[in-house]
Structures are given as C-alpha cells and as structure tokens.
Amino acid sequence: MSGIFDNKERDDAIETLQSLGLTVKESLVYFSLMQSGEVGASAISTDTKLHRQFVYDTLSSLEEKGLVGHVIVRGRKKFFSYGPSKLSTMFEYKKKLAEDFTRKIEKKILPSDIQQFEVYRGQEAFIANEMNTIDSIRPGSKIYVFGSVGDEYEKSLGKYLTEYEFQRAKKGVEVLYLGSSTQTKFLIQSKDTRRLFSYRLLPSILTGALNITIFEDRVCFYMYGPPVANFTIKSERIAKSYADFFLGLWQMSK
C-alpha cells in the first residue's frame, strides 16, 4: 500500500469495509484503488498481493456494485474507484431498501403489537442501543427501573453517560428507580447528581446482576455479564403491564 495510511489505519479501514458488507478481497482491492488512483490490474495485484485472476474477479464484482469503474488507455483497462462518497450512497440505498422491505413485511404478517425480541450483546452494542433509545423516546415520558446494580449500568455506559443524561434531562424524561436497601449509598448519590431522578426502596427487590427497565413501548432486561447484554421485548401492551406492576410496588415502597 502507499504511504498515505499507516498499517493500523489500513487494517482499520479494511475491517470497516468488511463490516459494511464487502468481502475481504473486495475490501483490499477497493482500498488499494482509493489510494492508487487510475491503475491496471497488475499494479493492484502487486499492491494487494492477490493473484491477478482474483483481482479481475474482484474488480468485476466491485463494478457491479457501482464502486469501481474503468477506462481503456492504449488498449488496456485502467481501473479507478468512485471514492468514499459513492460507498456511502450505495449503503444508504441498501439501508432504505431494507427498511422499506421490512415495513412491507411487518405490515402484511405481523400483528400491531407483536412481541418483538432483540438482543444487544457487548458494550459497543449496548451503548449504541441506549443512545438510540434516549434519542427516540417521547419528551416528558417516564422510565421505570427495577434495579439491583445501577452502578453497573453507569459503568457500562462509560464516557457516554454524560451525554445520555444530558439528552434525558433535555427531553424532561424522569427516572423512577425501585432498589433495595443495599443500594442506598448509590441511590442517594444518584439523586444528588442526576436530574429528574427519584428512588424508593423495597427489601430484596432484585438479586444478582440484573436490572429491568420499562419504557413506554418496551421492556429491557439488562444483564451485566461479562459481557453486558440487553434483552428487549418491544410491545406497548407488555410495557404497560410491567409499568402498572412497577407503580403498584412504588406506592407500597418508601
């Protein structure tokens, strides 16, 4: 590869291209072309250390995807990439197709309040889902928490906790937290440092490394592994049942 990127940057770029759906060979060839400009297959083969036939096959698949083009120079093909903007456009188009297809299928075969079950495993997926959730939640709504290890939730969010709390407060979303007496110190501190946060205590409300959080349209079961995991049931009907149960216990607690 050329000297534009160091080895770590190159490896990160190749990994990102694969995560976007390109094969290993497609990622190597496309990344090579982004740096090299307009070159022949032989130069790409030398750069990527792939056999020339593999390079030709890969260039063909990249051209079908609309990421690579070619011109004829003195009777020889010279290939070029359309650049990162084309890559972004392609995947935005695929994302829209997938979303449209999903909506059509759900409208045809799924009842209006199906119990959709999703799993977010690992800290990266956990954080992404929490930030997406607080972004989509209705302003002025409430979050109900059956908690046993609230401090683990904060640790799992890490540096994103500040942004999460800012967005929650900005939307006026209140947290009601039911915990046990063993969490008193943590809950007092949370009450002092977090806006729109209230708590009450019940003896041994939950045990183990588990929290249950209830939103208007979903119920989330957080398990603090390792790895951390969020098991989510998306259903307004089930969320309301859990919320009613929570509020009944809230009235009994102190």
Encode pLDDT of 40-65 as tens digits: 999 999 999 999 999 999 999 888 88
Residue 228 φ then ψ, to 5°: -65, 145
Encode pLDDT of 137-175 as tens digits: 999 999 999 987 767 888 889 899 999 999 999 999 999
| Poorest-pLDDT segment among 125-129, 178-182, 212-216 | 178-182
How high is the pLDDT of residue 22?
83
For the chain, the average pLDDT equals 84
Place of tokens 């009601």: 176
Interacting residues of 233 by C-beta distance below 8 A, sequence separation 6+? 115, 116, 117, 218, 219
Q: Which of 135, 109, 137, 125 has its CA nearest to residue 230?
A: 125
Residue bearing the bigger pLDDT, 251 or 206? 251
Q: Which of 69, 66, 11, 67 has its CA nearest to residue 39?
A: 69
Find out whether 82 and 67 touch, Cβ atoms under 8 Å: yes
Domains with residue ranges and CATH for the chain: 7-87 (1.10.10.10), 115-252 (3.30.870.10)
CA 236 – CA 139 distance, rounded (Å):
17
Return the number of other C-beta atoms located less than 10 Å from residue 120's C-beta. 20
Encode pLDDT of 61-96 as tens digits: 888 888 888 888 888 889 988 867 777 776 676 667
**H helices present in the chain, as ranges:** 7-19, 24-36, 41-48, 52-64, 84-109, 123-136, 150-157, 161-170, 184-193, 236-252
How high is the pLDDT of residue 164?
94
Question: pTM for this structure?
Answer: 0.56
Question: Is 37's pLDDT higher than 70?
Answer: yes
Q: In the chain, what percentage of residues exceed pLDDT 90?
A: 37
Residue 72 φ then ψ, to 5°: -100, 120
- Residue 1 banded pLDDT, cuts 50, 70, 90: very low
- Residue 35 banded pLDDT, cuts 50, 70, 90: confident
Q: What three-state secondary structure class fits 30? A: helix
